[in-house]
Amino acid sequence: MYDYTDFDAAFVAERNRQFREQVERRINGALTEDEFKPLRLMNGLYLQLHAYMLRVAIPYGTLNSRQMRQLAHIAEQWDKGYGHFTTRQNIQFNWPRLRDVPDMLDALAEVNMHAIQTSGNTIRNVTADHFAGAAADEVADPRPVAELIRQWSTDHPEFQFLPRKFKIAVTGSPNDRAVTRAHDIGLQIVDRDGTIGYRVIVGGGLGRTPMIGKVLADFVTQYDLLPYLEAVVSVWNLLGRRDNKYKSRIKITVHEHGIDEIRARVEERFKLIRPSFSGVDVELFERIKAAFAPPALNTADTAAFDAAYAADPVFRSWCDTNLSPHRAPDHAIAQISLKAHGATPGDATAEQMRVMADLAETYGHDELRISHEQNVILPHVHKSDLPAIHAALKEAGLATANIGLISDIIACPGMDYCALATARSIPIAQEIATRFEALKLEHEIGDLKIKISGCINACGHHHVGHIGILGLDRAGVENYQITLGGDHTQTAELGQRTGPGFSADEIVPAIERIVHAYLDYRDSPDEAFLQTYRRIGMGPFKTALYEEAHAHAAQ
Amino acid sequence: MPREFTPKVVTANALLEGDVVYLTADDRWTRHLSEAELITDEAHAQLRLLHGEGQPDHVVGAYLADARQGLDGPEPVHFREEFRRTGPSNYRHGKQAETRDV
């Protein structure tokens, strides 16, 4: 795992020192709120509905046990004993007091963590596939290049006043788990005749005007990557709309100018700046790559696993839903669900964080990952250790066997916390999960991703949910719109709206009608919700949603 | 024709704690909406808002929120203000758990 260099540590310490003084100057009145706000946002500090909120970066979603324990400590010392893992592979603390934030940042710096560029019109925390370095289907680990981009983009002098925020995601696998097509830039590592390079996707994004990213370049070499990215951001920095916040993201620039014109401008800019990259970036990349060397995996037989799998139905069920194939066949990638039925998606208590840290240290080569789906991952576990891991998780309330199922819901904080929200998300997620748990249907339903956002900014990725739910304020009442058929993977698609929205009381029964329609129409239990939707289209679901509801009302 | 003025309270977030506060008729910031000054006159509302905005060392983001007279002082009109005076619905945190004064 990447360790801070002296330069990194000094940089973060200096930034923290500056911020401590900025907080002091705000409190003693030397800075107005208008002056202070951009400074606090640069350091991840928001003012939300009920309190300040500190957003901490977890670069490419990777944590070690020491870092996880420090997050637990911060949650207990300065917050309310829990943290919220987000769809951007960050963790948010919902209740800090202004005076305590400099101490929280110092505590983070002790374990090589920070909150820099988790907000503001900069290149944000770079996200990556949460199975990086472990997945059986991977071409190369996406984290070294994500770290390279983090170093290149942090305080990049040309990019401190961008038209708007800019988000980059990297996948090292053709099976896209990093939602690269819904980012300003998505990078996919590809292998062309033995040479590693990058497919560059640009102009994706959700929010008010959702767009699926377009391929800007099919293959960019490692040598050309940073100048190419710099050219892309540079072109947008000049063209991007600063007159209208809603038209400022690169997706709009690409849409307005067309991908071909953007490509031509990027290539022109690239030619100009390419000579200024001496190759030092590639040397740095090689050094970073060495820090991400794969762990020395242990070899043992898997008899203990096989025996437990055969004997214990609860363990078996957990394995069937929460494990994914590791590149080493006697290992597994284990997902820890932060979606216990009725719990807040993405929340973990300090105690749970410590349990996960201990498991990573004891059984998982000291590695933890945070997924954009708001779960935690032990990326390298030997199968023989899984029964012990499962037992420890069960004890901590972390053994919910629901990864990829209907209760594994992404939900943004919504109006329970967020100052931008137009409706709540969390209670809707809680009610859906509890309802389908009561029906004992979720394993029968199978692969189904519900994603909920509490406003059109779409932090909950609702556009790319198989079922998306968007909470709005309709004349002073919470109202929920449904979209169907969204897809966040390499076959990315935006969901289509079903029609009029539903009240908070009506939304769970509405979801139930959609799910029952799917169960009625699917070819076989092997046909997942999304496949059925693609085969039969919107019609039958609309009928189930609106006409059956009327029929019931008329009875 | 201009819209008819509806009653308001001045609300903001406390600078240090970040929590929700309301302006009272005797120029205090209170944590309780029921103690807020319910303003029924538009010109007076603007003056009270200016008074709130003029205290950047105490509060952040002062604005006028719709409110109505209830049995026990002002009550929220919009659900957002209901959440602000109560706290989140997933945990008993925030105002519903704390009832201390400024």
CA distance, residue A353 to nearest chain B CA (Å) = 18
Please give the torsion angle defined by the CA atoms of residues A354, A358, A361 and A362, in that order, rounded to the nearest 10 degrees: -170
Non-local (6+) Cβ contacts of A540 within 8 A are A517, A521
- Contact (CB<8Å) A29/B56: yes
If you average pLDDT over residues A327-333, what whole number do you get? 97
CA distance, residue A47 to nearest chain B CA (Å) = 7
Average pLDDT, rounded, for chain B: 94
Looking at residue A550, its pLDDT comes to 67
Q: Please indicate, yes or no, whether residues A262 and A334 belong to a single structural domain of this protein.
A: no
Listed residues A334, A367, A395: the one ending a domain: A395
- Contact (CB<8Å) A47/B13: yes
CA distance, residue A462 to nearest chain B CA (Å) = 20
Listed residues A291, A311, A330: the one ending a domain: A291
At CA B76, angle to CA B74 and CA B77, rounded to 5? Answer: 120
The residue to which tokens 């942090």 are assigned: A154
Q: Which residue of A has its CA nearest to B14?
A: A51
Please give the torsion angle defined by the CA atoms of residues B36, B38, B41 and B47, in that order, rounded to the nearest 10 degrees: 10
- Contact (CB<8Å) B93/A427: no
Q: Please indicate, yes or no, whether residues A468 and A530 belong to a single structural domain of this protein.
A: yes
Q: Examine residue A183 and state whether it is found in any structural domain, yes or no.
A: yes
CA distance, residue B17 to nearest chain A CA (Å) = 5
> A103: exposed, middle or buried (C-beta count within 10 Å: 0-12, 13-18, 19+)?
middle
- Contact (CB<8Å) A415/B20: no
The residue among A49, A420, A455, A478 with the most chain B CBs within 10 A of its CB, best to mutate, is A49
Q: Pairing state of beta strands A185-192 and A502-503?
A: unpaired
Beta bridge partners of A377: A335, A369
CA distance, residue B45 to nearest chain A CA (Å) = 22
Phi-psi region at A120: left, alpha or beta (left = phi > 0; alpha = psi -120 to 50): left
Cβ-Cβ contacts under 8 Å, A23 against chain B: none
- Contact (CB<8Å) A50/B15: no
Q: Please indicate, yes or no, whether residues A358 and A475 belong to a single structural domain of this protein.
A: no
Q: Structurally, how many domains does chain B consist of?
A: 1
Containing B56, the helix (H) or strand (E) segment is: none
Q: Which residue of B has its CA nearest to A475?
A: B78
The beta-carbon neighbor of B60 closest among A47, A416, A430 is: A47
If you average pLDDT over residues A525-535, what whole number do you get? 98
Instruction: Render pLDDT for A278-291 as a digit per residue (tens, 0 to 9).
Output: 999 999 999 999 99
From the DSSP assignment, how many helices (H) and strands (E) are in chain A? 19, 21
Q: Please indicate, yes or no, whether residues A148 and A283 belong to a single structural domain of this protein.
A: yes
Instruction: Render pLDDT for A494-518 as a digit per residue (tens, 0 to 9).
Output: 999 999 999 999 999 999 999 999 9
d(CA A134, CA A140): 10
Cβ-Cβ contacts under 8 Å, A338 against chain B: none
Q: Please indicate, yes or no, whether residues A203 and A147 belong to a single structural domain of this protein.
A: yes
Q: In this structure, are residues A370 and A286 in contact, taking their beta carbons and an 8 Å threshold?
A: no
Q: Examine residue B15 and state whether it is found in any structural domain, yes or no.
A: yes
CA distance, residue B99 to nearest chain A CA (Å) = 14
Q: Examine residue A541 and state whether it is found in any structural domain, yes or no.
A: yes
- Contact (CB<8Å) A52/B18: yes
Q: Structurally, how many domains does chain A consist of?
A: 4
pLDDT at A39 over 80: yes
Q: In this structure, are residues A68 and A113 in contact, taking their beta carbons and an 8 Å threshold?
A: no
Interface of B with A (CB under 8 A): 13, 15-20, 56-57, 60-61, 77-80, 83-84, 87-91, 93-95
Looking at residue B102, its pLDDT comes to 44
Q: Please indicate, yes or no, whether residues A156 and A287 belong to a single structural domain of this protein.
A: yes
d(CA A83, CA A106): 17
Q: Which amino acid is at A23?
A: V
Q: Which tokens is A267 given? A: 């290539």
Listed residues A291, A322, A344: the one ending a domain: A291
CA distance, residue A84 to nearest chain B CA (Å) = 12
Q: Please indicate, yes or no, whether residues A148 and A287 belong to a single structural domain of this protein.
A: yes
d(CA A37, CA A345): 29
Count of other CB atoms within 10 angstroms of residue A150? 23
The beta-carbon neighbor of B87 closest among A50, A96, A347 is: A50
Domain encompassing residue B55: 8-90
Which pLDDT band holds residue A391 (cuts at 50, 70, 90)? very high
The beta-carbon neighbor of A50 closest among B19, B78, B79 is: B19
- CA distances from residue B44 to A231, A282, B5, B6, B40 in whole angstroms, order as listed: 54, 64, 11, 12, 8
> Coil, helix or strand for A198?
strand
Q: In this structure, are residues A337 and A322 in contact, taking their beta carbons and an 8 Å threshold?
A: yes
Looking at residue A553, its pLDDT comes to 59
Looking at residue A548, its pLDDT comes to 73
CA distance, residue B57 to nearest chain A CA (Å) = 6
Q: Examine residue B3 and state whether it is found in any structural domain, yes or no.
A: no
Q: Examine residue A201 and state whether it is found in any structural domain, yes or no.
A: yes
* Residues A300-337 as b or e (16 or more Cβ within 10 Å = b): eebebbeebbeeeeebeebbebbbbebbbeebbbbbbb
Looking at residue A469, its pLDDT comes to 98
- Contact (CB<8Å) B94/A424: no
H helices present in A325-385, as ranges: 350-363
The residue to which tokens 């944000």 are assigned: A124
Instruction: Render pLDDT for A133-182 as a digit per residue (tens, 0 to 9).
Output: 999 999 999 999 999 999 999 999 999 889 999 999 999 999 999 999 99
- Contact (CB<8Å) A98/B90: no
- CA distances from residue A455 to A37, A80, A97, A371, B10 in whole angstroms, order as listed: 22, 26, 26, 22, 25
If you average pLDDT over residues A12-31, what whole number do you get? 97
- Contact (CB<8Å) B78/A476: yes
Q: Please indicate, yes or no, whether residues A389 and A487 belong to a single structural domain of this protein.
A: no
> A195: exposed, middle or buried (C-beta count within 10 Å: 0-12, 13-18, 19+)?
exposed
Q: Examine residue A115 and state whether it is found in any structural domain, yes or no.
A: no
Q: Examine residue B2 and state whether it is found in any structural domain, yes or no.
A: no
At CA A548, angle to CA A546 and CA A551, rounded to 5? Answer: 110
Q: Please indicate, yes or no, whether residues A439 and A540 belong to a single structural domain of this protein.
A: yes
Domain encompassing residue A346: 303-395
pLDDT at A266 over 70: yes
Q: Please indicate, yes or no, whether residues A103 and A160 belong to a single structural domain of this protein.
A: no
Average pLDDT, rounded, for chain A: 96
If you average pLDDT over residues B24-32, what whole number do you get? 97
pLDDT at B100 over 70: no
Rg (CA), chain B: 13
Instruction: Render pLDDT for A427-477 as a digit per residue (tens, 0 to 9).
Output: 999 999 999 999 999 999 999 999 999 999 999 999 999 999 999 999 999
Q: HSE on the CB side for A131, CA within 13 Å?
A: 25
> Coil, helix or strand for A196?
strand
Cβ-Cβ contacts under 8 Å, A476 against chain B: 77-79
pLDDT at A362 over 80: yes
Q: Examine residue B83 and state whether it is found in any structural domain, yes or no.
A: yes
Q: Examine residue A124 and state whether it is found in any structural domain, yes or no.
A: no
Instruction: Render pLDDT for A92-125 as a digit per residue (tens, 0 to 9).
Output: 999 999 999 999 999 999 999 999 989 989 999 9
> Coil, helix or strand for A551?
helix
Q: Examine residue A514 and state whether it is found in any structural domain, yes or no.
A: yes
Q: Which residue of B has its CA nearest to A27?
A: B57
> Coil, helix or strand for A511?
helix
Q: Please indicate, yes or no, whether residues A237 and A361 belong to a single structural domain of this protein.
A: no
Q: Please indicate, yes or no, whether residues A91 and A215 belong to a single structural domain of this protein.
A: no
Count Cβ–Cβ pairs < 8 Å, chain A vs chain B: 73
d(CA B54, CA B59): 9
- Contact (CB<8Å) A51/B60: no
- Contact (CB<8Å) B19/A51: yes
- Contact (CB<8Å) A478/B13: no
Instruction: Render pLDDT for A40-67 as a digit per residue (tens, 0 to 9).
Output: 999 999 999 999 999 999 999 999 999 9
The beta-carbon neighbor of B16 closest among A50, A98, A427 is: A98
Looking at residue A3, its pLDDT comes to 86
CATH number at residue A267: 3.30.413.10
Looking at residue B3, its pLDDT comes to 81
Q: Which tokens is A88 given? A: 């951007």
Containing B64, the helix (H) or strand (E) segment is: strand B59-70
- Contact (CB<8Å) A49/B83: yes
- Contact (CB<8Å) B17/A98: yes
**Percent of chain A residues past pLDDT 90, beyond the cut:** 96
